């Protein structure tokens, strides 16, 4: 078993129909670069503006009934960007965590990070650990930040640990099923996302929560992330309430 699998996994695909808003919203925060470009500014200007939107979006979750919010901050593919942009983003993440730590803790937000920490610098990893620890007792909004995250990478890392348990004899191959595998994913303590939103007009998921979003509802909206507002999230949550989630069954 994974070393940290002592918390129960909640599944998000057991209900028949969405009667209310989404409990878990996941957001691919895209469009920072284009937002900056439209203003004749460097891409990092857009990333800073994007980081400021996160606070408002986290704050509006309680009144929307969103208990879990997962945001895609940096993908395993984003290392392909210029060194200036990557190091600017890493320093933004460090500053963001230091600056927001107290406010998040005070607002009863529980923060977790998903993704592979091995490629991140020690100072950033230390801040991530501190923020997780600082907010570990909170039970308000569960904010998960995907940082150096890739869905395929996550499944590969999970499979490696699972294979190790089989090799050690603590897991039998015939016991590997749809319930077992997600216990090895970074998200093992989270329910599956109900609603996945991507901003900036791109209709792709770019390696985000591949396993977990099997039955998510999707919204691809044109708004660039730095322009995204609490009102827009509210509108998308209400629209979600009207969706008929059948999970393969026949509507009754």
Residues tagged active-site:
30, 78
Helix (H) or strand (E) segment spanning residue 167: helix 151-168
Q: Per rule CB under 6 A, is residue 127 in the interface with ligand IPE?
A: no
192 belongs to the binding site for ligand IPE (CB under 6 A): no
Report which DSSP code applies to 148: E
Q: Which residue is nearest to ligand IPE (CB)?
A: 33
> Could you give the maximum distance between any two Cα atoms of the chain, in Å?
59
Nearer to ligand IPE, 79 or 247 (CB): 79
Identify which of residues 171 and 199 has a Cβ nearer to ligand IPE in the complex. Answer: 199
Q: Which two tokens stand for residue 199?
A: 């901003």
Site map (CB under 6 A) of ligand IPE, residues 6-45, x = contact: ----------------------xxxxxxx-----------
Helix 230-241 to helix 43-64 angle, to the nearest 10 degrees? 50
Q: Is the dihedral of CA 159, 143, 101, 106 positive or negative?
A: negative
Decide which of Mg ion, ligand IPE, none touches 144; Cβ closer than 5 to 8 Å per partner kind. none
Chain residues 72-91 in contact with ligand IPE, contact rule CB under 6 A: 72-75, 78, 89
Spatial separation of the C-alpha atoms in residues 226 and 192, rounded to whole Å: 26
> Least CB distance from residue 30 to Mg ion, whole Å?
4
CB of 73 to ligand IPE, least distance (A): 6
For residue 96, count other CB atoms closer than 10 A to its CB: 20
Name the nearest CA neighbour of 101 among 132, 76, 78, 72. Answer: 132
For residues 109 and 145, which CB has a smaller minimum distance to ligand IPE in the complex?
Answer: 145
Q: Is 135 exposed, middle or buried (0-12, 13-18, 19+ CB in 10 A)?
A: buried
- From residue 204 to residue 233, the character string flagging contacts with ligand IPE as x (rule: CB under 6 A) and all else as - is x-x---------------------------
Among 70, 135, 200, 212, binds ligand IPE (CB under 6 A): 200
Closer residue to ligand IPE, CB minimum distance, 48 or 183: 48
Size of the site for ligand IPE (CB under 6 A): 17
What six digits make up the tokens of 60?
A: 């509006």
Three-state DSSP class for residue 113: strand
Q: Which spans of this chain sit near ligand IPE (rule: CB under 6 A)? A: 28-34, 72-75, 78, 89, 200, 202, 204, 206
């Amino acid at each position: 078993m994974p070393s940290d699998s002592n918390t129960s996994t909640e599944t998000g695909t057991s209900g028949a129909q969405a009667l209310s808003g989404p409990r878990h919203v996941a957001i691919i925060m895209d469009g920072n670069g284009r937002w900056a470009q439209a203003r004749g500014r460097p891409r990092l200007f857009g990333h800073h503006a994007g980081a400021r939107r996160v606070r408002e979006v986290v704050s509006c979750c309680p009144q929307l009934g969103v208990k879990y919010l997962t945001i895609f901050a940096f993908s395993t593919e984003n290392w392909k960007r210029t060194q200036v942009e990557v190091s600017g983003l890493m320093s933004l993440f460090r500053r963001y965590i230091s600056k927001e730590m107290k406010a998040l803790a005070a607002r009863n937000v529980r923060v977790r990070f998903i993704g592979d920490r091995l490629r991140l610098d020690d100072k950033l990893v230390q801040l991530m650990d501190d923020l997780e620890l600082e907010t570990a007792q909170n039970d308000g909004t569960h904010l998960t930040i995907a940082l150096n995250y890739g869905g395929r990478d996550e499944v590969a890392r999970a499979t490696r640990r699972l294979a190790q348990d089989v090799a050690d004899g603590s897991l039998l191959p015939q016991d590997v099923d749809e319930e077992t595998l997600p216990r090895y994913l970074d998200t093992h303590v989270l329910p599956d996302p109900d609603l996945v939103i991507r901003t900036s007009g791109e209709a792709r998921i770019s390696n985000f929560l591949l396993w977990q979003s099997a039955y998510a509802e999707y919204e691809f909206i044109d708004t660039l992330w730095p322009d995204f507002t609490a009102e827009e999230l509210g509108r998308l949550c209400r629209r979600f309430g009207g969706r008929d989630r059948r999970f393969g069954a026949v509507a009754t």
